[in-house]
Structures are given as C-alpha cells and as structure tokens.
Structure 1
Amino acid sequence: MSFEKYSEVLKIRNLKLVFIVILLTSWFLNAQTDDITTLNANSYKAIKTFTPPSDKFISIKLQTYKGLLRFGEQDNYYKLPDGSYVNHKSKTAYEQADKKNWEIALGRHALLELLRFKYMSPIYEDMDKTLLTKRSNSMYQKEKNSFTAQSNLLRLASAVTSAKDMPRFFCNPKAKDCTYDPGRDLYFHRNVGSGEYWGGQGASEFKQLGAFTSYVNENFEELQEWKTNFFPNDVEEGYFVIGAHLGIYDFENKGYWIRSQTFRNNGKLFRFMDLQAANSNERKLVHPQGVEILYKISPEEAEKHTEETKNLFLVFKVKVQIKGMEYNNENVHATYSLQSPIIELYKDDSLTHKFGEISIETMTTK
C-alpha cells in the first residue's frame, strides 16, 4: 500500500472515530437531561420544608403525599418511576438525587430528635444548665433526669445545628477532627445520626463545658419555640406507606394475595402494628399471625403486570397521635388510626403509577 493510500485510510478511520465519540457524547448528555427532567417533574416537588427560627439551624425537609406528611417507606430518589435507576455517569442527575436523599434523611432524623426534645419537657426541667452531669451508680432522680436531658440535647444539637455553627461547638482544633466546611454544600457536612462530642473529640473538660454552656445560652430558648411547630395538639394527619411483595396469581379466587406479615416497614416514628383499630376488619390487619388480603384482578389484566410488577407500595391515610415518651425515654410513643377505608396500591415508591385500590370494608382475607 502506498503512503498516500495509507494516509487516506487513516483519515477515514479517524473520521469514523470522531463520529462515534460525538454520538456517544450526545447520548450521554441526553440521558443525563432525561434523568434530571424526570426527577424534577415528579418527586422533588412533594416536599414540605419546616423553616428554622434562625440560620443557626438547618431547614427540615420531609416528603409528602397529597400535601400531607409521608410516613413509613420513603421515595428513593435514585430510583426513577419506571423502575430504572439514575445513571451514576450522569453526574449532575446523580448528585441531585444524592443531595435530595441526604436532605430527607437529615430532616427525618432532625424531626425525631425535636420530638424527643418536645416530649421530654418534664425531664428537661431538671437539667443542669451550668455543669455537665456525670453518670454514677448513686444518682438521685433529679441527677438522672439531668444526665438524660443533657445526652438528648447533645443528640439534638448534632442533628439540627447548621454547618456554619458546627465548628464552634463540635470541633477540636488540636485533634484536627473538624470536617464542617461552611463553604461547602450545607447538606454534605455530616453523617445522618452521627455521634458528636461537646468541644470535639478529645476535648478537655474545660472545652466540653464551654461548648455545652454556650450552646444552652445561645440556642436553648429558640429550640424550645421551634419544637411547638411539630405535631401541634400532639396529632398530625398524613399517609403511611408500606412496601409489600406481590405473590403468585390465584386463579381460583381471581386475584393476588398480599400478606401483611411480610409488610416492609422502615418507619422511624411508629410501626405498622401500632394501629389503633376501630373495627373488626382493621383488627385483622394487625393480627399477630398476620393476614392475607386479596387484591381482585382478572387473569387478563394480571398477565400484563406479571413481568414488570413484583413489589407494591400500599398507602393508608392516617392520623398519628403522640402520647409521650416510652418508659426508657429513648423513643417517642406514637400510635395511629386510619382516616379512610381505602388502601391505594402503587407500583413505584414515587407513588405515580397506580396499580389499584382495596377497600378495608369489603376486603377478602384469610
């Protein structure tokens, strides 16, 4: 092959390579744009924001459904309504989903700590605000209450304090343990539920006490006011979402049996079994041995969903009531009652693709 001929072949190959690169780049950018468009058009709007009393605290963002708070199973922003996942190569879309998941996780954790703060008020009356209470085997009840309240306040402060104020109370310059950079995104500065130490890890007793008393003097009253915004009158209406598996089709009864004992529940505030049943049908839902509920659907319709639908998300409209703290002062004692006899069934955790409905009043169980 002559040199000229060889050069011509190389040019053609290079042109083909450039064309392929352009096609792949275009596909990647379009995929990224489609992911972002799908995310923005659906899940990101269903959020309620609780504005803090000042910029010393984070905003609390919680998921909603039909304008009310969503409890139980949450919408996973990495997962798109069609069942696919956000492409991690689509950097903008993936980071956006990651940030939203982070915000909601931080918000749910902050809500729980604020509710503990609210319903531990009697114990906080005994909290020493000038000295840190040390645990011992010979504590009087007032000292026990002070220790419990101070421990709870530390968890609360770790959960709700803004990134710009975290270094003042939870960083020890000598230990070089400070990862709170106010210049970064405010929702990427801590792990959800991570334990902190007054003054930072390894701080002296003087620095610990200084951080504690400063926090109490500067923030305690604002936190007292903020807590009243959550669960006014100790109740809140919302929707409880439960994940369930769709079993094998029952040709004899013409439907799918949905088993309550396999309900997945990652609810942080209350469990599915905490239902305060108002009638015999509702009591069946929380029977200790579980119950199977028939979702009636024709074989023809069921066949359309056989391959694509294996998991369902059941939605109950509920009224949550908080009755105080549990005996160990660790968890809030909450129960709920049903506000509608209709159970909505969805194929996706974004609750956009409806599968059907079941009426508790007429449901078939076994």
Structure 2
Amino acid sequence: MRHAPAGAVPRILRRRLFTPTTAALGLLAAVFAVLDLAGATVPLAVQVVPFAASVLLFGLPHGALDHLVPARLDPGISRQRSITAVVLLYAVVGGATSAIWLTAPAIGFGLFILITWFHWGQGDLWLDRALDEEPGSRIDAVLTLLVRGALPMLVPLIAHPGDYATVLASMVGVVDPGAATGLGVLATAPVRAAAAAALVLVVAAHLLLRRRQGAPIRRAAGEIAVLAAFFTTVPSVLAVGLYFTFWHAVRHIVRLELLEPGGRAALAAGRLGRGFLRFARDAWPVTLCAVVLLVGAALAFRSAGLGTYLLLIAALTTPHTVVVTWMDRRQRRARGAERG
C-alpha cells in the first residue's frame, strides 16, 4: 500500500516510535518545569544543539527525497520526469521565497511562520490517517491541522516572548537588522493573550468535534497536552529544535520509507534503525547539496548563526510544503479509491 501503513505496521510504529517520542517530550517538560522552579537557565549555545544536529540528522535531510516522491507515488511518472519537475519547483518557489526575504524580510518571516504552521500541522494530520484515526469530516481535518501547527508556532510566543523575539531578530537581522523593529508587537501582552484564547478555543472545538463524530481522541488529546506542556516549559529554541528534528522530520521520513517495499518491510519488522539508514543512504547527495547552500549563505551574509540556518530552512520549506501537499492529495485519493 502506497498511501498508508497496512496491517500491524501502525501498531508497531505507535508502540516503538510515536508513543516513546511523546513520552520523552513529556519527561523533558517535567524536567524543565522543575529546573524553572529552581531558577536554572539553559545557555543559548546549548539550546541550539538540536538545530546543529539537524543539519545532518533528520531535520535538514527530511526533504532530501522530494525529487523522488512523484515517481514513488505514481508508477506513471518516470524518475527523470519526477526529478525535473521537483528541481524546477524548488528553483522557482524557493527562489521566490528567497527574493521575498531579501527584499522584505519582515514579510518573509510572517510567511515562514504561516507556512511552517500549515506544514507541521499537515504532517500530524497525515499520521492520524496513517494510524487509522481518520478525521470524521473536512472541518475536523482543518481543525487538526490548525491545532497541531499552532502548538509549536504559538505556544512559544505565548510562554516565551523573549525567545520568540530573539529568533525573529536573528532571522530578519541577517538581511536587515532594522526590519525586525515593527514585528515586536507580536510579543506584547495583548497579542499573546489573544493567541492563548484562540488556541484554547480551537483545541476545545477540535476535541469536542472529534468526540461528537465518534473519532478516536485519546492519542490526539494526550499528544496535544504533552506538546502544550513541552513548549510551555522548555526554552523555545531548544524546544522547537527538538520538535523539528525528532518529531516532525522523523514522521516525514517514516512516511517516505512506507512508499518503498524495502522501507515498509523494515518498519513492519520493527527495524526502525534499518529504515532510517535506508533513508540516509538515499538522502545524502541532496543533503550534501543543502549543506553547501548553507555554507554559501553563511559566507554571503557573513553569519554562521542560527538565523542563517533558519533562512535556508525558510527557503526550502515552501517548495517542500508544495510537494507534501501534492502527496496528501494523491494519497487521500488512493485511500478513497481503495475504500470505495
């Protein structure tokens, strides 16, 4: 099956990967709550470690097989056509995203937040479908996407406005240090209070609608609670780095491995390490190209900090989201045809 794991695979993935990851984030939330009560702080140099690791481990590489996705999903699309189409997509859409950042970095930052919100939400929405926890309606699917994307995007703003402002300044400041001034309103108390109220309402609507429609809510409610606590207690740079690398990216890699017989077999046997090694073997050439781009960006902007890395991520996220959105549509159609 190309659109979702079959048989025992969802149970294996839930037991061996997804549930332990949720538990680990819950444990970190508890640890950092205690550290906060004790007045301990985490230096920024330590917080950026997950982002540094993500250059080669899961994070940056997780989109490195986008050029093969069309061919893997559709036998009628040749490998050459697949590569050509995706390379052109990245050149046009990634180039347009970069142009926005270079000419209007404040707008670029806003678009980056919105696109990442959508993309991270759609990643968790795919997992619901893959684990046979299909949303009961289109509205439910939209609420799932909104809630899951909001947790890593809004909770850090609500709980750690200073960290949010630091990341904003580090990204926008790479291009134009003065452009971040007008965005300071995001960290003000009224905006944060409105964001918190909106998030609570959307989460409540999401879970109540699921319950009314008879859709499973236990795993979803548990993950929402853990993620909310995680992003509230863990310093934002560290929290988002860990989430990007070990939550979002890992789930997408699993999705890609399920498209290949060898990957599905490895995951079905519970050999997660073998599945990730298969992915690393296939992804390393494009990952190397991305690292070269990162080095080039660091030299061009004369900055090798987190802001430069996130600028590269911003340029790559837009075309990557287009590919994943196409994947969603094709896999939903395949799932519907199989049920019909």
TM-score normalised to structure 2 length? 0.24
Larger relative contact order (CA 8 Å, sep ≥ 6): 2
Higher CA-based Rg: 1
- Could you say which structure has the higher helix fraction? 2
TM-score normalised to structure 1 length? 0.22
- Could you say which structure has the higher strand fraction? 1
